[in-house]
Amino acid sequence: MLLSALSAVLSLAGSAAAALTYKGVDWSSVPVEEKAGISYKNVNGAAQSIEHIFRDSGVNTVRQRVWVNPSGGTYNLAYNINLAKRAKNAGLGVYIDFHFSDTWADPAHQAIPSGWPTAIDDLAWKLYNYTFDASNQFHDNGVQPTIISIGNEITDGLLWPTGGTSSWYNIARLLHSASAGIRDSRLNPKPKIMIHLDNGWNWDTQNWWYTNVLKQGPLVSSDFDMMGVSFYPFYTPSATLSSLKSSLTNMANRWGKELVVAETDWPSSCPNPAYAFPSDAKNIPFNAAGQSQWIKAVANVVASVPKGKGLFYWEPAWIHNANLGSSCASNSMFSNSGQALSSLSVFHNI
């Protein structure tokens, strides 16, 4: 089965996707799984450190979420510095995803960290100092991230309520401060700074958001280098590959920023999906071969767009949370025993 799926992956290889600069995965929860007793294995069943499994499978960059002061310390700065050192030692680039919260930040959750001020002047200054200090800590520990995202899926703003969409000025002010802290840090070379929204297939959402925030004044085009989007197929049939291509093309033509699909997944098992899947993905199976087809298809979309630079698969190794927030049984690229599925090898070909 592994060999036949791998053959299917190789047959999908095309010239367009070979242009991608960033071929990545989010591995934020790997230490959590290792602490729970998971030992990872490559596609041949041999035990191997997961960073080397990723590298040998064609991954060149890993994504890590950073929480400010989480309970128990998981995903905090120290946790991420240690994880980033592992990536660096394996020859992988590091993409840091600041959530600017003590817990999950996404379109439904953007809580100000405990102890942080709420007045806009004080909060903007706190955010500058936070990104400045965190960036310096990465530098001082020998890690130079290649990408830093200033917020995670901030379609409805960040650091609520101060940075909600009831005040686009506040959003712009906060993002400018976050960017300035990174730019002023000792990191050298400077990382690419990303703004990340969800629903990358929806041009109306992307256009509404960037038009509103960029006309405020504090956030200027030079404050960021990349636009990241989330693109998931299992929440709405509207998330077609063709709509993603249209949206990213419009974004490239309007703003000229580098573009990355910062999060995507495909099920290795989905017996009871809650929503219909997109029409142009209905023939992709819910298995390892289907994961390969989906990743290849998304990679081809990104590579076909001006300044399309990369793709990141969200948390493929989080075995104990294998549904990854979807109604599908599993979106993991590892079996329950920790062995890599054949789909992981698709990164060689994108």
Q: What is the SS3 assignment for 149?
A: strand
- Beta strands at 93-98 and 61-66: parallel, antiparallel or unpaired: parallel
Q: Which pTM was predicted?
A: 0.94
Q: Is 153 a catalytic residue?
A: yes
Q: What pLDDT is recorded for position 19?
A: 78
- Name the percent of the chain lying above pLDDT 70: 95
Question: Which pLDDT does position 7 carry in this prediction?
Answer: 36
| Residue of 33, 258, 263, 315 marked catalytic | 263
CA angle 106, 21, 263 (to 5 degrees): 20
> What pLDDT score does 18 carry?
54
Which residues of the chain, if any, have pLDDT below 70? 1-18
User: Residue 106 has which token pair?
Assistant: 């996404």
Token couple for 255: 């703003």
Question: Cis link prior to 189 (omega < 30° from 0)?
Answer: yes
**In one letter, which amino acid is 17?**
A
- Residue 37's identity, in one-letter code, is G
Question: Does residue 34 carry a catalytic annotation?
Answer: no
pLDDT per residue as tens digits for the range 199-210: 999 999 999 999
> Whole-angstrom Cα distance, residue 24 to residue 310?
8
Give me the pLDDT at residue 8, please: 37
